[in-house]
Chains A and B, each alone.
Chain A
């Protein structure tokens, strides 16, 4: 089977700073691949390239076997090709109602080209109750994002990706700002994504979260993929040690 994402020779520099210097990486179908590394290793640059926010200087990417044309690749195009990104924050508009957040950029239109608000609210309600299992007074399509907890926000962003049937979901530190219980909820959503056949790239600093759900770990160091390990090959402790020592050994 074709990998969900194939990256070859991706480089990106910002002025004199080489953020990525030749990334080769495959995200297999239906796996959760953790992307680990210290600050400045190049994780977020890689995420932004996948999401369509940055264009690399060189290198190729194929999505489900289809070669990406960088000149046309932006956020809207990425979403159309099935790549959806969930950020640590800023995945949702705080002051906007939930239904607008679900459909922003991909509205359901009626015959006059206007947004079909009623259907979007119905679909959002279904998403909230059936997919997310959210209950409570504050949870309805007209509610504002500002009223949701951190875990609920990430849940909604993930549910949105599921609703639009994104094959590849990039999770950029989705649990970092969350408490233990809330993070646990997000992790169970990620497990559900895998269960439903979505391929996930999970970027995180939280090693115990990553070790719990990832199938493989890609360790980044200074703009390169240093190692890729299977879950069976390394324990949480070894992973932590490897990450801590990785940078130092090279110095």
Chain B
């Protein structure tokens, strides 16, 4: 039992942090936090952050990062909005092409990092500006309304409300992505390869892991997930707008590191990021319903991040066994 807690201390910490924060909010705003409405709202907003966070977790474990995902998200959603609303492409085809475009943008990041040899932090700053700039030019800086998609089966499938509790579909998608990526990271040789490449690229090479292919694939996966998250956000609001996704940059990294993933690579968990995304996601609504002004949000975000990463750093130095 004690061994279990020692082994999973990072996961235990983030879970306790979420429970503690929830407890504080529930005490401060009991009416809001005992009502199902706020959770339904969480379940419609958090999945977007969650899906982005999960993809980023794999990249950070790999020892890389992707700063272009807000633009990739928006650009893929633009592909969908443009094809469907402007050209009249059927929604399913537009969506498939949007997801493919996200994967392609991810692959392009991978190409710059792996084949050209640009460090990922620099390469993805470049592509972040590039795709954002391109969609601003193509959309002429204007939003695209997608009211026609409402009522379509695809809309219900991705952002509909399910069951007697009207659970937002995107929550189920977020959960599904978490389960699949969790299985890949822990139980599939590809996840194993991510861990070893992030641990030490040279070692991974000597073990026969196709290092470059693993890196390219993970960047591509991140692009695909960014596109998926962008589509969920667009469908939820039936609207595409050119600055879409910009608010997610810091939230996603905060969620990854609050979740206990190591910035040095080679270590991290899907569970931690899952809880981390929820934790980061409930702060804003919690603060507002507790009666504080929204300006507190960033301050509390900052506090949570500083406290959690300091706790992890302490844990890393204190190493009993394992």
Contacts of B247 in A (CB 8 A): none
**Interface-located stretch among A26-34, A90-98, A213-221:** A90-98
Binary CB contact string for chain A from 142 to 153 against chain B (1 if under 8 A, 0 otherwise): 111011000000
Binds B, one of A56-64, A74-82, A173-181, A184-192: A74-82
The answer for the CA separation of A76 and B183 in the assembled complex, in Å, is 24
Q: Is the CB of B266 within 8 A of A104?
A: no
Which of the residues A85, A96, A137, A144 comes within 8 Å of B206, measured between beta carbons? Answer: A85
Docked-complex contact B206 and A95, CB < 8 angstroms: no
Known: A76-B208, A104-B207. A143 touches B192 (CB 8 A): no
Please give the distance in Å from B1's CB to the nearest CB on chain A: 15
Given that A100-B195, A107-B192, A138-B321 are known contacts, is A93 also in contact with B203, CB under 8 Å in the complex? yes
Q: Are A97 and B186 in contact (CB under 8 A)?
A: no
A107 near B208 with CB under 8 A, answer no
Contact with B along A111-135 (1 / 0, CB 8 A): 0011101000000000000000000
Determine if A105 is an interface residue (Cβ-Cβ < 8 Å). yes
In the complex, A94→B198 CA distance in Å? Answer: 11
CA distance A95 to B195 in the complex (A): 9
B196 at the interface (CB under 8 A from A): yes
Let me know if A51 is at the binding interface, CB within 8 A: yes
B319 proximity list for chain A (CB < 8 A): 146-147
Q: Would you call B31 an interface residue if the criterion is a C-beta within 8 Å of the partner chain's C-beta atoms?
A: no
Q: How far is the CA of A93 from the CA of B196 in the complex (A)?
A: 6
Chain B residues, Cβ within 8 Å of A94: 199-200, 203, 266
Find the B residue at minimum CB distance from A95: B266
CA–CA, A95 and B262, complex, Å: 11
Given contacts A93-B266, A94-B266, A96-B195, contact A115 B321 (CB under 8 A): no
Specify which chain B residues have a CB less than 8 angstroms from the CB of A79 in the assembled complex. Answer: 208
For chain A, the bracket of interface size reads: 20 to 34
B207–A144 CB distance below 8 A: no
Per the bound structure, the CA–CA distance linking A96 and B203 in Å amounts to 12
Are A95 and B322 within 8 A (Cβ)?
Answer: no
Give complex CA distance A105, B262 in Å: 23
- Asked if B204 lies at the interface with its beta carbon under 8 angstroms from chain A, I say yes
Q: How far is the CA of A83 from the CA of B262 in the complex (A)?
A: 34
Interface residue A155 (Cβ < 8 Å from any Cβ of B): no
Assess the B199–A96 pair: CB atoms within 8 A.
yes
Q: In the assembled complex, which residues on chain B have CB atoms less than 8 Å from the CB atom of A70? A: none
Quick one: given A93-B200, A143-B321, are A75 and B207 in contact (CB under 8 Å)? yes
Q: Let me know if B187 is at the binding interface, CB within 8 A.
A: yes
A137 to B322, CA, bound (A): 10
Q: How many Å from the CB of B119 to the closest CB on chain A?
A: 21
CB atoms of B322 and A91 under 8 A apart? no
The complex places the Cα of A104 from the Cα of B186 at a distance, in Å, of 12
CA distance A53 to B206 in the complex (A): 7
Closest B residue to A109 using CB positions: B189
Which among B183, B187, B188, B195 has the greatest number of chain A C-beta atoms within 10 A? B187
Measured between beta carbons, the chain B residues less than 8 angstroms from A147 are: 319, 321-322
B18 in the interface, Cβ–Cβ < 8 Å?
A: no
Closest chain B residue to A141 by CB distance?
A: B322
Judge if A52 is at the interface, Cβ distance under 8 Å: yes
**With known contacts A93-B199, A94-B200, A114–B187 Cβ distance under 8 A:** yes
Are B199 and A144 within 8 A (Cβ)?
no
Kindly state the separation between the CA atoms of A237 and B316 in the bound complex, as whole angstroms.
48
Question: Closest CB-CB distance, B210 to chain A, in whole Å?
Answer: 9
B183 and A114 contact, CB distance less than 8 A? yes
1/0 per residue, CB under 8 A from B, across A41-54: the answer is 00000000001110
Tell me if A12 is interfacial: C-beta within 8 Å of chain B.
no
Residues of B within 8 A of A (CB): 7, 183, 186-189, 192, 195-196, 199-200, 202-209, 262, 266-267, 319, 321-322
A/B interface sample: 28 pairs, CB < 8 A: A53-B206, A75-B205, A75-B206, A75-B207, A79-B208, A91-B203, A93-B195, A93-B199, A93-B204, A93-B207, A94-B199, A95-B199, A95-B266, A95-B267, A96-B195, A96-B196, A96-B266, A100-B195, A104-B209, A105-B208, A115-B186, A115-B187, A117-B187, A138-B321, A140-B321, A142-B322, A146-B319, A147-B319
Which 6 pairs between the two chains have the least Cβ-Cβ distance? A75-B208, A114-B187, A93-B199, A95-B266, A138-B321, A76-B208
